[in-house]
């Protein structure tokens, strides 16, 4: 089974090494490899969604040439950056704020989401 290596970027919360995920074709894998691959990909996607939520909130609160943040995120910034409608950006920002601010334990769980390592 071909596997992507986990990686780390530095020494902060965003540098949690990600578990490897399979790049092999599931049609060529035995059942237990299919299940393990599915679980690994779901964990990676959940963790990546947490990372994207963090980036979206910070981007929507940021302004050029300063690290100072505005209290309310502006969905127009996300819409312009990603080519989304303002409505779509606002909905995604609402979801991000929900996971990271209103339900912080959900954000922690998304960050820590990782499949069990094979034995």
pLDDT of residue 1: 44
Question: Tokens in use for 67?
Answer: 């690290």
Question: Tokens in use for 69?
Answer: 């943040």
Assess contact for 78 and 60: CB atoms under 8 A.
yes
Q: Is the pLDDT of residue 115 over 60?
A: no
Task: Note the pTM of the prediction, 2 decimals.
Answer: 0.69
Q: Is the pLDDT of residue 68 over 50?
A: yes
- H/E segment holding residue 69: strand 66-69
- The angle at the Cα of 45, spanning 17 to 112, to the nearest 5 degrees, equals 45
State whether residue 64 is helix, strand or coil.
coil
**Residue 109: which residues within 8 A CB-CB, separation 6 or more?**
none
CA distance 28 to 93: 39
pLDDT digits (tens, 9 = 90+) for 9-65: 444 556 666 666 777 888 888 888 889 888 888 888 888 888 899 999 999 999 989
């Amino acid at each position: 089974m071909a596997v992507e290596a986990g990686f780390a970027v530095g020494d902060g919360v965003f540098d949690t090494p990600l578990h490897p995920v399979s790049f092999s074709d599931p049609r060529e894998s035995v059942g237990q490899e299919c299940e393990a691959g599915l679980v690994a990909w779901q964990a990676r996607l959940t963790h990546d969604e947490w990372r994207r939520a963090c980036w979206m909130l910070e981007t929507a609160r940021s302004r050029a040439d300063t690290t100072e943040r505005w209290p309310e995120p502006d969905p127009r910034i996300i819409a312009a950056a990603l080519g989304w409608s303002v409505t779509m950006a606002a909905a995604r920002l609402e979801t991000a704020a929900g996971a990271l601010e209103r339900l912080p334990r959900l954000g922690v769980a998304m960050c820590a989401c990782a499949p069990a390592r094979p034995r």
